Amino acid sequence: MIRPEPSAAYAKIVVIEFSGQYREGAAGASDSRFMMAIAEAAWTTTSPMAGLLDLRGLAYSWGDNISWIENFSPFGNYPTAVIVGDRNKEALLSLYGVESINQLENFFDEFEPAWQYLEDKIELIGKKDK
């Protein structure tokens, strides 16, 4: 896979939003593949420093194929954050085996804390590079 070099036109944080119904169980595999392809296309075309996955509009009740969202950067160890909503939160907590969204470092209930988390991660990366 070829990753384009960042340029003056790159996005600092790419925001990818999904809504609709994620099908249950194995039927959700094609939904997951579609979502991964969209995420990869977004990363490839924007060359961001981080990514934010907004799932507040996605209805999800169960299925393991969506577990890739925890680190959805297709190009390695880039900071990512996930925003969950009322239509998927309980099922995602169950998928990751936790009782609270706060137990997952990069999962959030709202946009602003997720964005700030990524801003902080980008700042740390910048300090390491100096």
What's the whole-model pTM score? Answer: 0.87
Give me the pLDDT at residue 129, please.
Answer: 63
Q: Exposed, middle or buried: residue 47 (CB in 10 Å: 0-12, 13-18, 19+)? A: middle
Higher pLDDT, 9 or 111: 111
Q: How many residues does the chain have?
A: 130
> pLDDT per residue over 10-66, tens digit each?
468 999 999 999 999 899 999 999 999 999 999 999 889 999 999 999 999 999 899
What span, in angstroms and rounded, lies between the C-alpha atoms of 130 and 74?
A: 25
Topology adopted by domain 13-129: Transcription Regulator spoIIAA (3.30.750)
Provide the pairing of β-strand 80-83 with 50-59: parallel
Q: Exposed, middle or buried: residue 112 (CB in 10 Å: 0-12, 13-18, 19+)? A: exposed
* Domain range list for the chain: 13-129
